[in-house]
Amino acid sequence: MKAPAINERTAAASHTKAIDLDSQPTVLVATSDLEIQKNISGLLQLFPVKTLWAKGLEELKSVLSRENVAACFCGFWLVDGTYRDVVRHLRSQSAEIPAIIVCDPSCSHEYRDYLAALNMRAFDFICHPYRKPDIERILRSAIDVHQGSEALRLASPAPSASVPSISGLRRAS
Protein backbone atom coordinates (compact mmCIF):
# COMPACT_ATOMS: atom_id res chain seq x y z
CA MET A 1 0.00 0.00 0.00
CA LYS A 2 1.39 3.42 -0.98
CA ALA A 3 1.82 6.24 1.53
CA PRO A 4 -0.48 9.25 1.16
CA ALA A 5 0.86 12.25 -0.75
CA ILE A 6 0.12 14.74 2.03
CA ASN A 7 -0.66 14.70 5.70
CA GLU A 8 -3.27 16.55 7.75
CA ARG A 9 -1.06 19.61 8.37
CA THR A 10 -0.80 20.38 4.68
CA ALA A 11 -4.32 19.27 3.81
CA ALA A 12 -5.73 21.91 6.16
CA ALA A 13 -3.94 24.77 4.37
CA SER A 14 -6.07 27.44 2.76
CA HIS A 15 -6.28 27.28 -1.03
CA THR A 16 -6.56 31.06 -1.36
CA LYS A 17 -3.52 32.20 0.60
CA ALA A 18 -0.62 33.29 -1.61
CA ILE A 19 3.02 32.54 -0.91
CA ASP A 20 4.71 35.73 0.34
CA LEU A 21 6.14 37.31 -2.82
CA ASP A 22 8.08 40.01 -0.95
CA SER A 23 10.39 37.68 0.89
CA GLN A 24 11.00 35.13 -1.92
CA PRO A 25 11.69 32.22 0.44
CA THR A 26 14.63 29.90 -0.22
CA VAL A 27 13.78 26.23 -0.74
CA LEU A 28 16.46 23.56 -0.72
CA VAL A 29 16.18 20.34 -2.74
CA ALA A 30 18.50 17.77 -1.14
CA THR A 31 18.97 14.59 -3.15
CA SER A 32 21.52 12.74 -5.22
CA ASP A 33 18.73 11.55 -7.53
CA LEU A 34 18.81 13.72 -10.67
CA GLU A 35 15.25 12.76 -11.64
CA ILE A 36 13.84 13.92 -8.28
CA GLN A 37 15.95 17.07 -8.43
CA LYS A 38 14.72 17.86 -11.94
CA ASN A 39 11.04 17.10 -11.18
CA ILE A 40 10.82 18.95 -7.87
CA SER A 41 12.95 21.91 -8.98
CA GLY A 42 10.82 22.17 -12.15
CA LEU A 43 7.64 22.37 -10.09
CA LEU A 44 9.20 24.84 -7.63
CA GLN A 45 10.00 27.17 -10.55
CA LEU A 46 6.26 27.74 -10.84
CA PHE A 47 6.30 29.54 -7.48
CA PRO A 48 8.04 32.71 -6.26
CA VAL A 49 10.82 30.89 -4.41
CA LYS A 50 14.58 30.72 -4.74
CA THR A 51 15.55 27.06 -5.27
CA LEU A 52 18.94 25.59 -4.30
CA TRP A 53 20.21 22.04 -4.68
CA ALA A 54 22.47 19.95 -2.44
CA LYS A 55 23.61 16.47 -3.51
CA GLY A 56 24.95 15.53 -0.10
CA LEU A 57 24.76 16.21 3.62
CA GLU A 58 27.99 18.25 3.71
CA GLU A 59 26.74 20.41 0.84
CA LEU A 60 23.40 20.80 2.66
CA LYS A 61 25.17 21.96 5.83
CA SER A 62 27.15 24.48 3.80
CA VAL A 63 23.99 25.89 2.19
CA LEU A 64 22.24 26.11 5.57
CA SER A 65 25.19 28.00 7.07
CA ARG A 66 24.88 30.81 4.50
CA GLU A 67 21.18 30.81 3.49
CA ASN A 68 17.93 31.27 5.39
CA VAL A 69 16.19 28.14 4.09
CA ALA A 70 12.41 28.08 4.58
CA ALA A 71 11.83 24.44 3.54
CA CYS A 72 13.76 21.40 2.36
CA PHE A 73 12.51 18.79 -0.10
CA CYS A 74 14.64 15.72 0.48
CA GLY A 75 15.02 12.53 -1.54
CA PHE A 76 15.65 9.22 0.20
CA TRP A 77 19.31 9.16 -0.82
CA LEU A 78 22.15 11.67 -0.80
CA VAL A 79 25.73 10.98 -1.90
CA ASP A 80 26.84 10.85 1.75
CA GLY A 81 23.71 9.97 3.70
CA THR A 82 19.95 9.53 3.70
CA TYR A 83 16.84 11.55 4.43
CA ARG A 84 17.21 10.46 8.07
CA ASP A 85 20.52 12.35 8.33
CA VAL A 86 18.91 15.41 6.77
CA VAL A 87 15.93 15.37 9.14
CA ARG A 88 18.23 14.93 12.16
CA HIS A 89 20.36 17.86 11.03
CA LEU A 90 17.36 20.10 10.32
CA ARG A 91 15.88 19.31 13.75
CA SER A 92 19.18 20.43 15.35
CA GLN A 93 18.86 23.93 13.81
CA SER A 94 17.56 26.80 15.95
CA ALA A 95 14.76 27.64 13.52
CA GLU A 96 12.23 25.09 12.36
CA ILE A 97 13.09 24.09 8.79
CA PRO A 98 10.37 21.78 7.50
CA ALA A 99 11.66 18.63 5.78
CA ILE A 100 9.47 17.19 3.05
CA ILE A 101 10.55 13.66 2.14
CA VAL A 102 10.23 12.87 -1.56
CA CYS A 103 9.77 9.27 -2.72
CA ASP A 104 11.85 7.99 -5.58
CA PRO A 105 9.52 7.45 -8.58
CA SER A 106 11.01 4.00 -9.29
CA CYS A 107 10.57 2.70 -5.73
CA SER A 108 7.42 1.68 -3.95
CA HIS A 109 7.71 3.07 -0.46
CA GLU A 110 5.21 1.83 2.03
CA TYR A 111 3.60 3.11 5.17
CA ARG A 112 6.60 2.07 7.27
CA ASP A 113 8.75 4.61 5.37
CA TYR A 114 6.04 7.24 5.75
CA LEU A 115 5.70 6.58 9.48
CA ALA A 116 9.47 6.47 10.02
CA ALA A 117 9.84 9.89 8.36
CA LEU A 118 7.00 11.44 10.38
CA ASN A 119 8.24 9.84 13.62
CA MET A 120 11.54 11.61 13.02
CA ARG A 121 9.53 14.86 12.80
CA ALA A 122 9.73 15.27 9.04
CA PHE A 123 7.12 17.80 7.96
CA ASP A 124 5.58 15.73 5.19
CA PHE A 125 6.11 12.87 2.74
CA ILE A 126 5.22 13.06 -0.94
CA CYS A 127 5.04 10.24 -3.49
CA HIS A 128 5.37 10.21 -7.25
CA PRO A 129 3.63 11.48 -9.34
CA TYR A 130 4.43 14.93 -8.02
CA ARG A 131 1.56 17.30 -8.75
CA LYS A 132 1.56 21.09 -8.73
CA PRO A 133 -1.43 21.41 -6.29
CA ASP A 134 0.24 19.03 -3.80
CA ILE A 135 3.59 20.81 -4.04
CA GLU A 136 1.87 24.20 -3.65
CA ARG A 137 -0.12 23.09 -0.58
CA ILE A 138 2.94 21.53 1.07
CA LEU A 139 5.18 24.47 0.17
CA ARG A 140 2.69 27.03 1.49
CA SER A 141 2.26 25.15 4.78
CA ALA A 142 6.02 24.60 5.21
CA ILE A 143 6.79 28.29 4.61
CA ASP A 144 4.06 29.29 7.08
CA VAL A 145 5.56 26.99 9.71
CA HIS A 146 9.07 28.30 9.06
CA GLN A 147 7.99 31.96 9.16
CA GLY A 148 6.07 31.32 12.38
CA SER A 149 9.04 29.64 14.07
CA GLU A 150 11.39 32.43 12.88
CA ALA A 151 9.05 35.06 14.34
CA LEU A 152 8.86 33.13 17.63
CA ARG A 153 12.63 32.72 17.79
CA LEU A 154 13.23 36.42 17.11
CA ALA A 155 10.55 37.52 19.62
CA SER A 156 11.79 35.28 22.43
CA PRO A 157 14.17 37.01 24.83
CA ALA A 158 17.61 35.49 25.22
CA PRO A 159 17.97 33.50 28.45
CA SER A 160 19.23 35.63 31.29
CA ALA A 161 21.91 34.54 33.73
CA SER A 162 19.67 35.71 36.60
CA VAL A 163 16.84 33.32 35.68
CA PRO A 164 17.26 29.95 37.41
CA SER A 165 17.10 26.88 35.24
CA ILE A 166 14.31 24.40 35.80
CA SER A 167 16.86 21.74 36.73
CA GLY A 168 17.79 23.83 39.78
CA LEU A 169 14.24 23.76 41.15
CA ARG A 170 13.24 21.16 43.69
CA ARG A 171 9.83 19.90 44.57
CA ALA A 172 8.61 21.06 47.99
CA SER A 173 8.06 18.21 50.42
pLDDT one-digit tens code per residue, 32-84: 999 999 999 999 999 999 999 999 999 999 999 999 999 999 998 999 999 99
Per-residue pLDDT, 150: 62
Residue of 151 and 123 predicted with greater confidence: 123
Confidence of residue 109 (pLDDT cuts 50, 70, 90): low
Cα–Cα distances in angstroms (integers) from residue 37 to residues 28, 31, 41, in the given order: 10, 7, 6
Q: Strands 81-82 and 50-54, how do they pair?
A: unpaired
Kindly list the domain boundaries of the chain, sorted by start residue. 1-10+23-130
**At the fourth CATH level, which superfamily is domain 1-10+23-130?**
Response regulator (3.40.50.2300)
pLDDT one-digit tens code per residue, 114-143: 788 888 888 998 888 889 999 999 999 999
* Measured distance CA(33)–CA(38) in Å, rounded: 9
Q: What's the pTM?
A: 0.73
DSSP letter at 2 equals B
